[in-house]
Amino acid sequence: MTPPNSFNPAPAALEGLRVLELATLYAAPAIGAALGDFGADVVKVEPPHGDPLRRLSPDTWLLTARNKRSFSIDFKSEAGLAELAALADIADCILVNQPLRILKRWGVSYEQVRKRNPRVVYVSVSTYGASGPLAGVVGNGSIGEAFGGFTNLNGLAETGPLLTSLPVGDFLASLSGIIGTLAACYWRDARGGDGQFVDISMYEPILALLGSSLAGWVPGTPPPMRNGGLIDGTTPRRTYHTADGEWVVVSGPTDQQVARLLPLIGADSPGDLERFGSSAARARHAGDLDQLVESWIQQHPVTHVLTAMRDARIPCSQVQDLEAIVNNKHIRERQSLYALGDGGEQRFLPSPIPSMSKTPGRVAHAATPAGHDTEVIRKQWLANLTDPV
Instruction: Tell me: pLDDT of 284 over 50.
Output: yes
User: Among candidates 69, 66, 141, 142, which has minimal Cα distance to 350?
Assistant: 66
pLDDT at 389: 42
Q: pLDDT tens across 179-221, in order?
A: 999 999 999 999 999 999 999 999 999 999 999 888 888 999 9
More confident residue, 311 or 363: 311
In terms of pTM, does the model score above 0.85? Answer: yes
How is residue 338 annotated by DSSP?
A: E
In angstroms, rounded to a whole number, what is the distance separating the alpha carbons of residues 80 and 389? 8
Mean pLDDT of 161-187: 95
User: Among candidates 238, 293, 303, 248, which has minimal Cα distance to 266?
Assistant: 293
Taking a C-beta distance cutoff of 8 angstroms, is the pair 29, 23 a contact? yes
Amino acid at position 82, single letter: A
Distances (CA, A) of 198 to 34, 99, 116: 17, 15, 18
Instruction: Tell me: pLDDT of 225 over 90.
Output: no
In angstroms, rounded to a whole number, what is the distance separating the alpha carbons of residues 46 and 371? 7
Instruction: Tell me: pLDDT of 42 over 80.
Output: yes
Give the side-chain half-sphere CA count within 13 A for 121. Answer: 22
pLDDT at 354: 92
pLDDT at 159: 81
Average pLDDT value for the chain = 91
Instruction: Give the model's confidence band at 3: pLDDT under 50 very low, under 70 low, under 90 confident, else very high.
Output: low
Taking a C-beta distance cutoff of 8 angstroms, is the pair 349, 59 a contact? no
Instruction: Tell me: pLDDT of 5 over 60.
Output: no
Mapped to the 3 state alphabet, what secondary structure does 67-93 carry? Answer: CEEEEECCCCCHHHHHHHHHHHHHCCE
Mean pLDDT of 116-120: 97
* % the chain with pLDDT above 70: 94
Helices of type H across the chain: 27-37, 53-56, 58-64, 78-90, 100-106, 110-116, 141-147, 168-189, 204-209, 211-216, 255-264, 270-276, 279-284, 286-298, 302-311, 322-327, 329-333, 374-381
Q: pLDDT tens across 285-337, in order?
A: 999 999 999 999 999 999 999 999 999 999 999 999 999 999 999 999 999 99
Spell out the residues 6+ positions from residue 1 whose beta carbon is closer than 8 angstroms to its own.
Answer: 332, 335, 337, 338, 339, 348
Q: pLDDT tens across 55-68, in order?
A: 999 999 999 999 99
Instruction: Tell me: pLDDT of 387 over 90.
Output: no
Instruction: Give the model's confidence band at 11: pLDDT under 50 very low, under 70 low, under 90 confident, else very high.
Output: confident
